[in-house]
């Protein structure tokens, strides 16, 4: 018979629960036991060994289309990388960079020639890569990157160059030591001197012996706040030449004579279309942070059910710390939020799977997916920072010992609020998306509708001082009609309250 706990876990695990169970079994192997060392040499070697075992077990194939040598199960691919967070976040990030970011750029921005040349090799780790977008000068504003890729029709090559010190590629996972090839984001310039915006190029950065290629200078970011197993580094290019074919040309191409062509005319729209195809990284980072939060809350809950402090009145037994209300109020809301975020993440992964495995994804749905991925990444990673810190404190001094995992979880997830899009910048992206959709609705209104709209919103809604007032009124209104449906415990009521709150806030803004 299935126990309540199993039912609950099945519900929380969602559509890819079999993958999760298989990963749980794999991660129980000794080699994947959580370990912690701030020593980057040991940590990097350990992660490299673990990654090889994952590759040999076929862990990466789901992320790539069948015709490119994979299995084409996007949801399974995201789920597997997320689950690595249960073992070690450095491993999760290394796998995410190799198969999600580097592999994702080849798969989604490249065409047949790139798929043939690289996909199978990168799945098997015969080709180690990195994703070189961020520069010292620009991280959030990636449209302003300074690295240039200037086309030379004489030799039919692109010349990749870092024209200023701030054009140096920075923080790049894999660039310090392991990557042989980089997918480099650079401003494409044609022979007529015209700039066409940021495009992505495959650039070899190291030879088989691990030495920098001519014109390439790599260096190591060394010690960071966490993720000791990830070799983050910097890359500077000095007129490095790559063949014309190394442009990942799914969305734009340059002919041998230097003529530029793209089906998407607007450079801004073209760039954001390219970025949109790389959404999986963002989805995985949010999901992994949430998984790390669950690990921490699990540790803190188990501790609270064992640990006793202070003798109970009229008893010679000490009180279980979980029996203190304040302790419950610290942990239970965070556990509840973890459940909620997990269900939301499951829906996001399913939607991402649907759109990325469809031959003709709906543009509107894609835009909505991008906004949701951005919002949920911010919510998940901020939740992780908070929950892990609370879990650490809830375990007292024991929580501060490395062997109990919490300090590593805290240190490793810290940067999840920054990479794959800084959380504040992502939140602005969500706001922009919501306001644009709202503006579109308003634009289509007739004069009569305008008057009604102004009267309703300006009169009744915007003038209300707090959103809470509207929500309480909504509950009261519904309750009068139907006690059952309006009950705060009714799921429909809860959803409606959230919807009303969103609508109210949007209208107010
Ligand atoms: C460990 C690690 C690994 C990384 N791995 C990679 C990798 O593999 N590949 C890669 O390409 N990059 C990688 N990055 C880079 C990462 O993606 C960037 O650090 C991130 O995008 C933020 O850019 P930034 O550091 O330039 O910060 P900035 O963009 O300078 O942001 C600094 C602050 O300014 C705020 N800010 C910025 N713009 C606005 C605005 N418009 N309105 C309000 N506030 C704003 C931000 O909220 C933030 O708090 C990695 C970074 C780290 C630390």
The residue whose CA has the least distance to atom 48 of ligand 1 is 422
Cα 82 to averaged position of ligand 1 atoms, centre (Å)? 21
Strands 181-189 and 129-132: parallel
Neighbours of 301 (CB within 10 A): 18
- Give the bridge partners for 26, in sequence order: none
Read off the DSSP letter of residue 212: B
- Give the bridge partners for 220, in sequence order: 233
Report whether 146 contacts 162 (CB < 8 A).
yes
178 lines ligand 1 (CB under 6 A): no
For CA atoms 441, 442, 443, 448, give the dihedral sign.
positive
**Per residue in 324-356, pLDDT tens?**
999 999 999 999 999 999 999 999 999 999 999
Cα 415 to averaged position of ligand 1 atoms, centre (Å)? 9
Q: In this structure, what are the phi and psi dihedrals at residue 341, rounded to the nearest 5 degrees?
A: -65, -35
Pull the structure tokens for residue 243: 């063949």
Cα 127 to averaged position of ligand 1 atoms, centre (Å)? 27
Cα 134 to averaged position of ligand 1 atoms, centre (Å)? 8
The span from the CA of 91 to the CA of 48, in Å, is: 8
Cα 141 to averaged position of ligand 1 atoms, centre (Å)? 9
102 contact partners, CB below 8 Å, separation of at least 6:
122, 129, 130, 131, 174, 179, 181, 182, 183
| Closest C-alpha to 352, from 108, 172, 160, 143 | 108
The span from the CA of 119 to the CA of 202, in Å, is: 13
Could you identify the atom of ligand 1 that is nearest to the CA of residue 141? Answer: 29
Could you identify the atom of ligand 1 that is nearest to the CA of residue 227? Answer: 1
Cα 140 to averaged position of ligand 1 atoms, centre (Å)? 5
User: In CATH, which of 1.10.3720.10, 1.20.140.10, 3.40.50.970, 3.30.70.270 is domain 279-297+329-444?
Assistant: 1.20.140.10
136 lines ligand 1 (CB under 6 A): no
Query: Which H helix or E strand runs over 452?
Result: helix 447-454
| Closest C-alpha to 390, from 323, 297, 291 | 297
The residue whose CA has the least distance to atom 11 of ligand 1 is 133
450 contact partners, CB below 8 Å, separation of at least 6:
none
Pull the structure tokens for residue 67: 């015709």
425 lines ligand 1 (CB under 6 A): yes
CATH 1.20.140.10 location in the chain: 279-297+329-444
Could you identify the atom of ligand 1 that is nearest to the CA of residue 97? Answer: 8
97 lines ligand 1 (CB under 6 A): yes
Could you identify the atom of ligand 1 that is nearest to the CA of residue 137? Answer: 26
Pull the structure tokens for residue 493: 């009521």
The pLDDT, as a whole number, for residue 463 is 47
Neighbours of 264 (CB within 10 A): 14
Could you identify the atom of ligand 1 that is nearest to the CA of residue 175? Answer: 8
CA distances from 383 to 155, 289, 380, 387 (A): 52, 8, 5, 6
> From the centroid of its chain, how far is CA 294?
17
418 lines ligand 1 (CB under 6 A): yes
233 lines ligand 1 (CB under 6 A): no
The pLDDT, as a whole number, for residue 479 is 53
503 lines ligand 1 (CB under 6 A): no
Using most ligand atoms within 8 A of CB, pick from 95, 100, 142, 422 the residue to mutate for ligand 1: 422
CA distances from 213 to 136, 140, 208, 391, 438 (A): 21, 28, 10, 46, 51
Alpha helices (runs of H) in 306-416, residue ranges in sequence order: 325-356, 363-394, 406-414
Pull the structure tokens for residue 252: 């734009």
The span from the CA of 505 to the CA of 125, in Å, is: 48
328 burial type by CB count under 10 A (0-12 exposed, 13-18 middle, 19+ buried)? middle
CATH 1.10.540.10 location in the chain: 4-123
In three-state secondary structure terms, 243 is strand
CATH 2.40.110.10 location in the chain: 129-264
The pLDDT, as a whole number, for residue 462 is 47
Cα 461 to averaged position of ligand 1 atoms, centre (Å)? 37
Using most ligand atoms within 8 A of CB, pick from 418, 420, 421 the residue to mutate for ligand 1: 418
217 contact partners, CB below 8 Å, separation of at least 6:
235, 236, 238
Cα 166 to averaged position of ligand 1 atoms, centre (Å)? 14
CA distances from 108 to 63, 222, 338, 351 (A): 11, 31, 31, 17
232 lines ligand 1 (CB under 6 A): yes
Cα 418 to averaged position of ligand 1 atoms, centre (Å)? 5
The span from the CA of 293 to the CA of 391, in Å, is: 9
3-state helix, strand, coil in the chain (%, to 5): 60, 15, 25
CA distances from 426 to 28, 141, 170 (A): 35, 12, 20
Cα 144 to averaged position of ligand 1 atoms, centre (Å)? 13
For CA atoms 495, 496, 497, 500, give the dihedral sign.
positive
User: In CATH, which of 3.40.50.2300, 1.10.10.10, 2.30.110.10, 2.40.110.10 is domain 129-264?
Assistant: 2.40.110.10
Q: Residue 422, by phi and psi: left (phi above 0), alpha (psi -120 to 50) or beta?
A: beta
Read off the DSSP letter of residue 213: P
| CATH class of residue range 4-123 | mainly alpha
The pLDDT, as a whole number, for residue 487 is 74
Cα angle 408-404-21, degrees, rounded to a multiple of 5:
85
The residue whose CA has the least distance to atom 36 of ligand 1 is 425
The span from the CA of 107 to the CA of 99, in Å, is: 10
The residue whose CA has the least distance to atom 33 of ligand 1 is 422
Cα 320 to averaged position of ligand 1 atoms, centre (Å)? 43
185 lines ligand 1 (CB under 6 A): no
Cα 199 to averaged position of ligand 1 atoms, centre (Å)? 19
Cα 468 to averaged position of ligand 1 atoms, centre (Å)? 34
The pLDDT, as a whole number, for residue 475 is 61
Residues of the chain with pLDDT under 50: 461-463, 465, 480-481
Report whether 47 contacts 88 (CB < 8 A).
yes
């Amino acid at each position: 018979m299935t126990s309540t706990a199993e039912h609950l876990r099945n519900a929380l695990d969602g559509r890819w629960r079999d993958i999760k169970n298989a990963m749980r079994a794999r991660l129980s192997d000794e080699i994947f036991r959580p370990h912690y060392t701030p020593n980057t040499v040991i940590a990097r070697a350990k992660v490299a060994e673990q990654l090889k075992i994952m590759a040999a077990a076929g862990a990466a194939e789901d992320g790539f289309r069948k015709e490119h040598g994979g299995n084409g199960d996007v949801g399974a691919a995201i789920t597997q990388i997320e689950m690595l967070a249960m073992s070690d976040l450095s491993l999760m990030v290394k796998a995410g960079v190799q198969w999600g970011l580097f592999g994702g750029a080849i798969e989604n921005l490249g065409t047949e020639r790139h798929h043939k040349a690289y996909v199978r090799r990168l799945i098997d780790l015969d080709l180690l890569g990195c994703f070189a977008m961020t520069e010292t000068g620009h991280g959030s504003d990636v449209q302003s990157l300074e690295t240039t890729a200037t086309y030379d029709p004489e030799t039919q090559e692109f010349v990749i160059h870092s024209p200023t010190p701030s054009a140096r590629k920075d923080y790049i996972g894999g660039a310090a030591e392991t990557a042989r090839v980089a997918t480099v984001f650079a401003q494409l310039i044609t022979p007529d001197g015209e700039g066409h915006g940021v495009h992505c190029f495959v650039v070899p950065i190291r030879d088989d012996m691990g030495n920098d290629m001519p014109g390439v200078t790599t260096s190591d970011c060394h010690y960071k706040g966490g993720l000791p197993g990830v070799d983050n580094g910097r890359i500077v290019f000095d007129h490095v030449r790559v063949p014309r074919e190394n442009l990942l040309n799914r969305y734009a191409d340059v002919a041998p004579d230097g003529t530029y062509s793209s089906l998407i005319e607007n450079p801004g729209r073209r760039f954001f279309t390219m970025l949109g195809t790389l959404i999986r990284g963002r989805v995985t980072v949010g999901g992994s942070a949430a998984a790390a939060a669950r690990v921490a809350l699990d540790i803190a809950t188990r501790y609270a059910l064992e640990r006793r402090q202070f003798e109970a009145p009229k008893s010679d037994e000490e009180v279980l710390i979980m029996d203190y209300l304040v302790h419950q109020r610290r942990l239970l809301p965070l556990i509840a939020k973890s459940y909620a975020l997990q269900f939301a993440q499951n829906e996001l992964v399913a939607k991402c799977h649907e759109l990325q495995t469809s031959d003709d994804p709906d543009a509107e749905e894609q835009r909505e997916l991008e906004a949701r991925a951005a919002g949920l990444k911010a919510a998940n990673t901020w939740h992780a920072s908070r929950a892990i810190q609370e879990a650490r404190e809830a375990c007292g001094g024991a929580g501060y010992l490395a062997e109990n995992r919490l300090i590593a979880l805290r240190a490793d997830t810290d940067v999840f609020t920054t990479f794959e899009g800084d959380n504040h910048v992502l939140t602005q992206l969500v706001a922009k998306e919501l306001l644009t959709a709202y503006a579109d609705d308003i634009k289509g209104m007739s004069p009569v509708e305008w008057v009604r709209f102004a009267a309703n919103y300006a009169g009744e809604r915007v003038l209300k001082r707090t959103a809470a007032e509207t929500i309480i009124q909504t509950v009261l209104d519904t309750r009068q009609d139907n006690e059952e449906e309006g009950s705060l415990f009714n799921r429909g009521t809860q959803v409606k309250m959230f919807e009303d709150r969103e609508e109210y806030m949007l209208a107010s803004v």
